[in-house]
Amino acid sequence: MSREMALTALMALVIAELLLYYLSRNSQSFKEKLSKLKLIVEPGVLMVDLGKRVKPRSAGEHVRYSLLVLSVVSLVISLYMFYSTIASYMMELFSSLSSGGPAPQSPMVPVIPGITLGLDILIPLLISVGMGLVAHELFHMLTAIINGIPVESWGVGIALIFPVAYVRVSEVEFSHSKLNAKVSVLCAGIMANLALGLVSLGFLGLVAQPLTTYLEGPHMLILGVEPNMPAGRVGMKTPAILEDINGTAIDSLDKLRKVLNTTPSETAVFKFRIRALVEVGFCGYYRASEEVSEYLVLRSSEDVEKYGYRVGVVVAPSAYVYSSETPTYLLYSSCQLQLLYIVNVSLAIINSAPLIVTDGGRLISELLKKVRAEKLDRVIQWTTIVLTALIVSIGLVQSLYR
């Protein structure tokens, strides 16, 4: 599927969700039909109820205590990562701006397929998000049941293009529960995501071991060509492995410079022999192929005056690539596990932050309500929202104009 087709399909999905919401708001009969199908429609969100009320189950005190401890530990770890990232970036930002420099690279970039993220990883990304959200909500549900809080309903859905899951606990029972039960329930999803992220990281290490046996190199890679320079004018296909120039093997920048600088002030012809790199189809992975191509690159005296000895190849020295025999399933597993790790740790960190709608936001409201510090609650949450929005906005702008 081409990039244009994929973007069109994603846009059509979002439009369909918005259209369903419009029809449900303006047609009572249509809304009733959706209700019979157990479909819930919100702006850009379509959800379906899969389960009815789940009654609480008894569990031993040691089980509830263990879940509480693990949940709180997960919250503390995730909160530390969130605020350390915020503080570190703000210090870098102020330092750079005060010295007249550009804003440093933002650590928070919104996920917008086709804009801030390549479409080649869309499917593994959606799988990772789906697994992360299911684990998150499942642990909310299990912890609520164990702590004597009934679950009213649960289900799955889609928000824009991302899969979602949800659990609705009895708000009345939740509001009358003890503080330790509330803390355990609210932090359970964070614990689930952090645990799934760490498990993914462990399996990633196992997959990396056999993958390393398929690496070949080091090679000099040609990542791209400048269109108006000699290499660009001959239509050289990239990315590729640079095997040799005029029969001289190129394995370092010094050799590349030496070969290109042999006749720096007159017309020269260089025969590039390159080996193609073939994209696997996801996560930007490439494998070396056996396809070897030759290009005659003419560098004129006018080129020398404009560009010096350069011919317009963008290279990466001392690079390792996967051989043509690398199994596709290993590359996909590595890609999927990397995304599972990144997505779940990110979900844990974001949900731990006091951002009003997150688990961390609800938790800090419950804690400060006990000491009647609602004003402090608002200050903490809105300050965090403003700082987060600033850093995310910088990340979005940098992605759009990089």
Domain of 220, CATH number, reads 2.30.42.10
Percent of the chain with pLDDT over 70: 96
Q: Which of 256, 211, 251, 255 is nearest to 231 (CA)?
A: 256
Q: What is the pLDDT of residues 179-209, one digit of tens each?
A: 888 999 999 999 999 999 999 999 999 999 9
Distance, in Å, from the CA atom of 40 to the CA atom of 252, rounded to the nearest integer, reads 60
Based on the domain organization, do 73 and 169 belong to the same domain? Answer: yes
- The reported pLDDT for the residue numbered 4 is 65
In a domain, 50, yes or no: no
Q: Are 268 and 346 in contact (CB under 8 A)?
A: no
- The reported pLDDT for the residue numbered 3 is 57
- The reported pLDDT for the residue numbered 225 is 92
109 burial level (CB within 10 Å; 0-12, 13-18, 19+): middle
- Order the strands of the 39-42 sheet from edge to edge: 39-42, 45-51, 151-159, 162-169
Q: Is the pLDDT of residue 256 over 80?
A: yes
Distance, in Å, from the CA atom of 365 to the CA atom of 101, rounded to the nearest integer, reads 39
Q: Is the pLDDT of residue 36 over 90?
A: no
Based on the domain organization, do 197 and 237 belong to the same domain? Answer: no
Question: 402 pLDDT band (50/70/90 cuts)?
Answer: low
Q: Is the pLDDT of residue 2 over 60?
A: no
In a domain, 291, yes or no: yes
Contacts of 51 (CB under 8 A, 6+ apart): 151, 153, 154, 155
Q: Which of 11, 17, 43, 191 is nearest to 114 (CA)?
A: 11
Mean pLDDT value across residues 124-137: 89
Q: Are 96 and 105 in contact (CB under 8 A)?
A: no
Based on the domain organization, do 123 and 194 belong to the same domain? Answer: yes
Mean pLDDT value across residues 32-58: 76
**What CA–CA distances, in Å, run from 300 to 120, 232, 251, 264, 312?**
39, 14, 25, 10, 13
- The reported pLDDT for the residue numbered 264 is 60
Question: 40 pLDDT band (50/70/90 cuts)?
Answer: confident
Q: What is the pLDDT of residues 310-367, one digit of tens each?
A: 899 999 988 899 998 999 899 999 999 999 999 999 999 999 999 888 899 989 988 8
Mean pLDDT value across residues 112-124: 75
Distance, in Å, from the CA atom of 134 to the CA atom of 163, rounded to the nearest integer, reads 9
Q: What is the pLDDT of residues 78-103, one digit of tens each?
A: 999 999 999 999 999 999 999 988 88
Based on the domain organization, do 199 and 337 belong to the same domain? Answer: yes
- The reported pLDDT for the residue numbered 111 is 77
In a domain, 26, yes or no: yes
Q: Give me the sign of the Cα torsion angle 385, 387, 390, 393.
A: negative
Mean pLDDT value across residues 105-111: 86
In a domain, 109, yes or no: yes
Both tokens of residue 92?
């870098």
Last residue within a domain, chosen from 326, 359, 377: 326
Alpha helix (H) residue ranges in 250-373? 253-260, 301-307, 328-352, 359-370
Alpha helix (H) residue ranges in 147-216? 171-175, 179-212
The H helix count followed by the E strand count for the chain is 12, 10
Based on the domain organization, do 12 and 140 belong to the same domain? Answer: no
Number of domains in the chain: 3
Higher pLDDT among residues 84 and 373, named by residue:
84
Distance, in Å, from the CA atom of 170 to the CA atom of 314, rounded to the nearest integer, reads 60
In the block, which residue shows the tokens 């929202």?
385
Helix/strand/coil for 342? helix
- The reported pLDDT for the residue numbered 388 is 92
Q: Which of 166, 112, 114 is nearest to 359 (CA)?
A: 166
Q: Is the pLDDT of residue 222 over 70?
A: yes
Distance, in Å, from the CA atom of 341 to the CA atom of 347, rounded to the nearest integer, reads 10
In a domain, 247, yes or no: yes
In a domain, 51, yes or no: no
Q: What is the pLDDT of residues 264-300, one digit of tens each?
A: 667 889 999 999 998 886 677 889 988 899 999 999 8
Mean pLDDT of the chain: 86
Based on the domain organization, do 190 and 241 belong to the same domain? Answer: no
Based on the domain organization, do 195 and 308 belong to the same domain? Answer: no
Last residue within a domain, chosen from 326, 342, 361: 326
Based on the domain organization, do 17 and 36 belong to the same domain? Answer: yes
The model carries a pTM of 0.81
Based on the domain organization, do 90 and 151 belong to the same domain? Answer: yes
Based on the domain organization, do 129 and 205 belong to the same domain? Answer: yes
In a domain, 55, yes or no: no
In a domain, 302, yes or no: yes
Based on the domain organization, do 170 and 270 belong to the same domain? Answer: no
**What CA–CA distances, in Å, run from 291 to 46, 190, 241, 285, 376?**
47, 48, 10, 17, 65
Based on the domain organization, do 65 and 181 belong to the same domain? Answer: yes
Q: Is the pLDDT of residue 14 over 70?
A: yes
Q: Is the pLDDT of residue 159 over 90?
A: no
Domain residues for the domain of 275 are 215-326
